[in-house]
Copies of this chain bind each other. A is one copy, B any other.
């Protein structure tokens, strides 16, 4: 029987449970803080996308280190984003944020350690396996998560608070802040699976489109959901006077844009010879999600 998306998410949850699982030692408070956020659950969209793209281009080995690494980097970015000096959020996925539980200093260090550990496990893996694909995948992740990617988007986002920005700037923020890591997930999967350059380009572009859909729907849900449905505070964009798609478009218009981007993403999947049915399902599900 074919594996469902939920089965993939569950597989990723189990994989993250295996990470940072060292014997209790002097650093156990740090491990606990790292594991607390890494194991907070969620849909594990980034490692699921990576695994699906890996399989779609014919990858047959295992890429656990890379699946863990991208989720560690995503997790560290959430821990640091939630800090008092940043978004100052108390709740994440329905649970107290890392600094609410472990204090600010440990939360900063847990984020730093997750980021470092992500590279450590990818480099260990690359040393074990040899070959350039794994170095290339780690390099893609380093670019997507750094100053030219996720962090750059975050700083531009902060600089734009309480200011009127144009749509191009909003697109730039979202492409970097959220899109870069999602597109890295799909591209890394394609590279690790030995995909050709056309397949890699198609899956990366698919990742960029669905990353944008993800962000548009995020903006909408922040405005119209309840905290209970969403598992985190709502109206935070309004509270922080952030620019979102709803600064430019109505909810209906935003959904129409998201639909057009979803169609583009689905079209790109036609270029992949392998099974892309679950990648299509993800694209179709993202636009319908309620949390």
A interface residues, Cβ below 8 angstroms from B: 20, 26-27, 29-31, 34, 76, 80, 83, 85-86, 103-106, 108-109, 111-113, 115-117, 119-120, 123-124, 126-127, 130, 132, 135-136, 138-139, 142-143, 145-148, 151-152, 154-156, 158-159, 169, 172
Are B113 and A146 within 8 A (Cβ)?
yes
Partner of A142, one of B31, B116, B148: B116
* Given A85-B104, A119-B119, 13 other A-B residues pairs in contact with their CB atoms under 8 A: A30-B152, A31-B147, A76-B112, A85-B103, A105-B158, A111-B112, A112-B112, A115-B115, A116-B142, A116-B145, A127-B132, A127-B135, A127-B136
CA distance A134 to B237 in the complex (A): 44
Partner of A109, one of B26, B119, B154: B154
Are B106 and A83 within 8 A (Cβ)?
no
Contacts known (A105-B85, A108-B108); A142 close to B119, Cβ less than 8 A: yes
List of B residues within 8 angstroms of A152 by Cβ? 26-27, 30, 113
Are A130 and B132 within 8 A (Cβ)?
yes
Question: How near does chain B come to A31, taking the closest CB pair, in angstroms?
Answer: 7
- Please, which residue of chain B has its CB at the minimum distance from the CB of A124? B139
Partner of A108, one of B27, B85, B127: B85
CA distance A151 to B107 in the complex (A): 12
- Please, which residue of chain B has its CB at the minimum distance from the CB of A134? B135
List of B residues within 8 angstroms of A158 by Cβ? 105-106
List of B residues within 8 angstroms of A83 by Cβ? 108
Question: How near does chain B come to A273, taking the closest CB pair, in angstroms?
Answer: 27
- Please, which residue of chain B has its CB at the minimum distance from the CB of A83? B108
Question: How near does chain B come to A151, taking the closest CB pair, in angstroms?
Answer: 5
Are A120 and B139 within 8 A (Cβ)?
yes
Are B109 and A155 within 8 A (Cβ)?
yes
List of B residues within 8 angstroms of A20 by Cβ? 147
Query: Which of the listed residues A120, A132, A143, A148 has the most CB atoms from chain B within 10 Å of its own CB?
Result: A120
List of B residues within 8 angstroms of A112 by Cβ? 76, 80, 111-112, 115, 151
Question: How near does chain B come to A120, taking the closest CB pair, in angstroms?
Answer: 4
CA distance A138 to B154 in the complex (A): 26
Question: How near does chain B come to A164, taking the closest CB pair, in angstroms?
Answer: 16
Are B123 and A105 within 8 A (Cβ)?
no
List of B residues within 8 angstroms of A117 by Cβ? 142, 146-147
